[in-house]
Amino acid sequence: EDKVVQSPLSLVVHEGDTVTLNCSYEVTNFRSLLWYKQEKKAPTFLFMLTSSGIEKKSGRLSSILDKKELFSILNITATQTGDSAVYLCAVRNTGNQFYFGTGTSLTVIP
């Protein structure tokens, strides 16, 4: 059964901390892995990863994929209260099906 598992389910940190969010997957015919940030309504797209070992970076956020071990991590450095959100991981297969994890709820305390 294809699935995506995210951990932890929730996380509370203080401003300035660095956090690492995990996403492991078991999806046949893998095509890409995507990270989203969901604050209120629809998730906002962050990264798409297709190749192992290549880090994608955007400001304080970075992500990397390991296709051998079937996981990805999302790092956020120097966290701010505006980073509080649910971070979703999704895997797309070659048939264009998406499998979403349950998300990690991040709360950043001032």
Among 36, 64, 72, 76, binds another protein (CB under 8 A): 36
Of 65 and 90, the one with the shorter C-beta distance to another protein is 90
Binding to another protein, residues 40-99 (CB under 8 A): 41-45, 48, 86, 88, 90, 96-99
DSSP of the chain:
--EEEEE-SEEEEETT--EEEEEEEE-TTEEEEEEEEESSSSPEEEEEE-STTPPEEETTEEEEEETTTTEEEEEE-S--GGG-EEEEEEEEETTS-EEE---EEEEEE-
Among 20, 29, 52, 102, binds another protein (CB under 8 A): 102
User: Which residues would be at the binding site for another protein (CB under 8 A)?
Assistant: 2, 5, 9-10, 34, 36, 38, 41-45, 48, 86, 88, 90, 96-100, 102-103, 105
